[in-house]
A and B are shown apart, each in its own frame.
Chain A
Amino acid sequence: MNLLKRELKANAKSLLAWCLAMVFLIWAGMVKYDAFRKTGDEVNQMLAQLPSALVRILGIGNGADLTSVAVFYSMFFLFFMLLGAVHAGMLGALILAKEERDKTADFLFSKPIRRNRAVLIKLLAAVLNILVLDLVTCLVSIVFVERYNTAGQSLAYPVFLVVAALFFLQLLFLGAGFLAAAAAKSAKTASSAVSVLILGTYLLSVVIHINGDLEYLGILSPFRYFDVNAVMFDRYLSPGYSALSLLLAATCAAGTVKLFGRRNLRG
């Protein structure tokens, strides 16, 4: 428990910064939405006529009614994914690799603590961090979305599902970060590897988006796992991809325990 407390405390400031960034993003986005909604009807009509090829390339609106808060909010899912991937991936890579980077590995691991236990506690601390960020994201989203919601039906549940999808993806990137830290020589290499993973899979998702024929590659890009329209409007969170995300995260965690257990710590 001492390690858990230590990790939570060590990450508290950065978690706060992430939460604030998230709140700011949602707030700013929704304020812009409010202004846009009042003038947007005309634009909206135009957008409805846009050919789908152009819509795909522009990545706007998906041909739906942008003045509806649900449609507008569904745009946020991409933002959440981008920030969430960075948060989780980097957190995972650094929470494990920082001991060697800061040369505190000798201190920590000469204490009576099993390596796999230390890894699991750090994993738990990271998951708690993600949970807090996602909880904040969820609550703030619901508050703002409901404020602008003109439809009779509450949007709290679909918003919750969107954030749940975000949570699964974050677990996946967290696992990747851990694995990178266990496999890489240094914290620097680990965080670079995670950066490549995030940028690479994001660009892959863009490429797939442009060329629908490449849809089968979607399994390689977590950014393609969840269709936000299905989540938002059909309240359908793909159980297959949810399971896949969790499975990949668990596999990464198992790999980390194995690799890190055999690691020669740098003094």
Chain B
Amino acid sequence: MKNVIEIENLTKYYGKARGIVDVSFSVAEGEIFGFIGPNGAGKSTTIRILLNLIYPTSGGARVFGRDCVKDGYEIRRDVGYLPSEVFYYDDMKVLELLKYSASFYGRVDMQRLRYLAEVMELDLGRKIDDLSYGNKKKVGIVQGLLHRPSLIILDEPTGGLDPLMQQRFFGLIREENRRGATVLFSSHILPEVQKLCSRVGIIREGKMLRVEEIGSMRDTAYKKIRLEFREEVPEAPELPEGAGDVQRSPRELAFLFRGDINEAFKSIARFDLRNAVIEEPDLEEIFLHYYGGEDGV
């Protein structure tokens, strides 16, 4: 399969301050790629290099097979971008801004504009300056999707959107994806990445930790086991091998487990329980584990 984004040993320093160091990964055509990491990890830096807004210190990146420093113009013709912080020309009305945005790509498809605005419940007649943060985000979403780009880059797009709007927004992204668009979705909120993405790249302190299939991440890894006791939890309960991240309260015990599930049941059977829950941990917990793991060792 063709790669839409190929990043190789990309490094960016802002003077002496670290942006990203030696980042490499690629995004295949037609996939929704999650790009996760905490604040300041380097997500926006990577994205802004892809768009040729800033220049890499070393290394390089290709989008649609083109060099993103040399061919920024050609690349941007087919990219839709939603920045993490949305700022637009305060003196414009929403419709004006959207038309202005569309004018860079050729003709304005008014029908599509109205469709997107309707889905996102965006009032086209209001002044940008009077919009709430969430509404500005909606403007950002519409201007990013308006020209049917084949690569959609979303930098922490859901901030400020209420749950209903998030749903609608995810719906639009899936729709575009089915149509063939590739999506790079940056976020620090894992459940939303989990919902939408097929693969994730995890970045931290400017370095890529790893790239994983969402599915394999969940399978191979951990179960989350939560036990409620009738009596108080014993001082040092005997836990199965492979248990970690133990949290203990007077009547509850929770831990992450990786290993032979039979062994787990054997040790659990010794307790006098009122209830037991075994769940797939969400990415958040795995994510914390990656981070915690590195700090902990």
A residues sitting closer than 8 Å to B (CB atoms) are 2, 6, 10, 102-107, 109-114, 262, 264-265, 267
Contact = CB atoms under 8 A, between A and B. Distances in A.
Given A110-B83, A113-B73, 11 more contacts: A2-B103, A2-B104, A10-B91, A106-B53, A107-B88, A109-B51, A111-B76, A112-B76, A112-B104, A264-B14, A265-B54
Contacts, number: 64
Interface residues of B, number: 28
Given A10-B91, A112-B105, A106 B100 contact: no
Given A110-B53, A110-B76, A265-B53, A103 B104 contact: no
Contacts of B89: 6, 10, 102, 104
A79 B87 CA distance: 38
A184 to B, nearest CB: 16
* Residue among A6, A103, A114, A267 with most chain B CB within 10 A: A267
Contacts of B81: 106, 110
B108 to A, nearest CB: 10
Contact of A264 (B55, B79, B90): B55
Nearest to B14: A264
Contact of A262 (B55, B72, B83): B55
B48 interface: yes
Contact of B101 (A102, A111, A264, A267): A111
Interface string B53-76: 111000000000000000011101
Contact of B48 (A103, A104, A267): A267
Contacts of B53: 105-106, 109-110, 264-265, 267
B76 A107 contact: no
A267 B101 CA distance: 18
Nearest to B49: A264
Given A104-B87, A104-B88, A110 B79 contact: yes
B46 interface: no
B210 interface: no
Given A2-B104, A6-B100, A112-B104, A103 B85 contact: yes
Contacts of B52: 109
B48 A106 contact: yes
B266 interface: no
B150 interface: no
Contacts of A105: 53
B84 to A, nearest CB: 8
Nearest to B90: A102
Contacts of B90: 102
B182 interface: no
B55 A111 contact: no
B77 interface: yes
Given A110-B51, A112-B76, A112-B77, A102 B87 contact: yes
23 contacts: A2-B100, A2-B103, A6-B89, A106-B81, A106-B83, A107-B83, A107-B87, A107-B88, A109-B52, A110-B76, A110-B81, A110-B83, A111-B101, A111-B105, A112-B73, A112-B105, A114-B72, A262-B55, A264-B54, A265-B53, A267-B48, A267-B53, A267-B83
